[in-house]
Amino acid sequence: MRPFDGRRILLGITGGIASYKSAWLARLLTQAGAEVDVVMTRSAQEFIGAVTLQALTGRPVHTELFDSAQALDHIKLARAADLVLVAPATADFLARAANAHANDLLAACLLATEAPVVLVPAMNDRMWSHAGTRRNVERARELGYHVVDPDDGALAAGEGAGPGRMPEPETIVAYAARTLEPHGGLAGLTVAVTAGPTREPLDPIRYLSNRSSGRMGVEIAAAAWRRGARVRLIAGPMTVALPPGVQVSTVETTEEMAAAVRAALPDADVLVMAAAPADFRPAQVAPSKIKKRSAPKEIELVPTPDILMTTRASRKQGAIMVGFALETDDVLAGGRDKLAAKGLDLIVVNDATEAGAGFGVDTNRVTILSASGGTDELPLMSKRDVAEAILDRVEALRRGS
């Protein structure tokens, strides 16, 4: 899985209670295609066993700086790594890393590597807020290390909640991917993405909507963030988890989504309209629940705003506009009509009736049409891979190719 395939990750584990999460982190990195070399401090071994990590990665676990059977481990491991990831990084380890200590194998690896280093602190909230820890974090960043701020949440038993909690392994994997991803045409740009359905109320309980889960838009937002972009996700009600690192604005109706898009467009270098907003809304919203015995025989519908049409005047000059067209008849013809009518650079077309390519599934099969006349038919693939393919074409447009 991009960008982990064939990459070598040195996963450092230090002695905090959060190290129980490191086993799942090692598993996720391995499943993503990385070769994971685990280095544990002595205190980490008090919390989690080396045998567990070896079983999950299929590779030896390293623990000692001076091991007669593994001379110069810190040099070999450091040189082989494409990324050094320390999770959890305790307050003690942050202090040693910030001051270039080399008194154990993991600290020595940091000094010997030329790979990027990501530190994921985890500790008590009072330890995290201590002035000494804050200085060590600042110093680590000055040395070029990437320090991921901890989450605010439940701490060890009896310690309540607060900042200092280690992020979930899935979030750490996303930060690792962003660090490994070769940043190209999207690095430093602002990308706005819409995702999910909208809901048009019929009464205080019911609404008109569709089956969109929001997964396609979320995958595009996550992929853009991994590529180094600043990402704003404008999200309707969704059933999938939101990606880390992304600024999220939540909306309910098509009108609210249109307003949020207009607000984002003056700064957006790229807009990807992957949402499935409702095309119609009830002409009248009942003030109370409509009862079966008194329900009207007909409900009048009126069109909702066409977001891409109503936001044309708000677009940043030179910005790339990408739309989606989910069709059931004359799929490519419908896509080409929308491409021209809405002033888009690309439109991603798919057939809602095709198995594995519509709502509520993890895969998609799309055709990407370009304003220059190109037609790029993609095979059935995961929505994550579709997202990467779309952004590859956005980057090509940025390069003028």
Residue that wins the pLDDT comparison between 356 and 54: 54
Which residue, among 102, 94, 234, has the nearest Cα to 150 in the 3D structure? 94
Instruction: Report pLDDT digits (tens) over 259-272.
Output: 999 999 999 999 99
Give me Rg for the CA atoms of the chain.
Answer: 25
> Among the three residues 135, 158, 180, which one is the final residue of a domain in this structure?
180
Residues 118 and 220 in one domain: no
Confidence of residue 68 (pLDDT cuts 50, 70, 90): low
Confidence of residue 338 (pLDDT cuts 50, 70, 90): very high
Q: What whole-number percentage of the chain has pLDDT above 70?
A: 96
Contact status, residue 340 vs residue 372, Cβ threshold 8 Å: no
In a domain, 87, yes or no: yes
Do strands 207-208 and 161-165 pair parallel, antiparallel, or not at all (unpaired)? Answer: unpaired
Q: What whole-number percentage of the chain has pLDDT above 90?
A: 79
Per-residue pLDDT at 161 exceeds 80: no
Instruction: Name the residues annotated as catalytic.
Output: 210
pLDDT, residue 243, reads: 87
Residues 205 and 224 in one domain: yes
| Token pair belonging to 178 | 């962003």
Residues 160 and 65 in one domain: yes
Residues 281 and 391 in one domain: yes
Angle at 165 between CA 162 and CA 169, to 5 degrees: 150
pLDDT, residue 158, reads: 65
Lowest mean pLDDT among 25-29, 100-104, 161-165, 302-306: 161-165
In a domain, 38, yes or no: yes
Residues 269 and 380 in one domain: yes
Instruction: Report pLDDT digits (tens) over 279-310.
Output: 999 999 999 999 988 888 899 999 999 999 98
pLDDT, residue 106, reads: 95
Residues 202 and 128 in one domain: no
Burial 111-132, CB ≥16 within 10 A → b, else e? ebbebbbbbbbbbbbebbeeee
* Domain at 149, CATH number: 3.40.50.1950
φ, ψ at 267 (rounded to 5°): -105, -10
Contact status, residue 88 vs residue 22, Cβ threshold 8 Å: yes
pLDDT, residue 159, reads: 65
Half-sphere exposure for 342 (CA within 13 Å, toward CB): 27
Tell me how crowded residue 68 is: count the other CB atoms within 10 A of its CB.
6
In a domain, 40, yes or no: yes
pLDDT, residue 27, reads: 98
Domain ranges, residue 208? 190-399
> Among the three residues 152, 180, 208, which one is the final residue of a domain in this structure?
180
Confidence of residue 33 (pLDDT cuts 50, 70, 90): very high
* Domain at 247, CATH number: 3.40.50.10300
Residues 195 and 63 in one domain: no
In a domain, 109, yes or no: yes
Per-residue pLDDT at 366 exceeds 70: yes
Per-residue pLDDT at 157 exceeds 70: no
Residues 320 and 391 in one domain: yes
pLDDT, residue 67, reads: 63
Mean pLDDT, the chain, as a whole number? 92
Residues 265 and 176 in one domain: no
In a domain, 260, yes or no: yes
Contact status, residue 393 vs residue 400, Cβ threshold 8 Å: no
Instruction: Report pLDDT digits (tens) over 167-201.
Output: 999 999 999 999 999 877 899 999 999 999 999 99
In a domain, 80, yes or no: yes
In a domain, 185, yes or no: no
pLDDT, residue 355, reads: 81
In a domain, 117, yes or no: yes
> Among the three residues 144, 159, 180, which one is the final residue of a domain in this structure?
180
Residues 299 and 210 in one domain: yes
pTM exceeds cut of 0.85:
yes
Confidence of residue 61 (pLDDT cuts 50, 70, 90): very high
Residues 148 and 235 in one domain: no
* Residue 358 DSSP label: S
Residues 174 and 194 in one domain: no
Confidence of residue 69 (pLDDT cuts 50, 70, 90): low
What residue type is assigned to position 316 of the chain? K
Cα–Cα distance measured from residue 175 to residue 192, given in angstroms and rounded to the nearest whole number: 20
Number of domain units in the chain: 2
Confidence of residue 254 (pLDDT cuts 50, 70, 90): very high
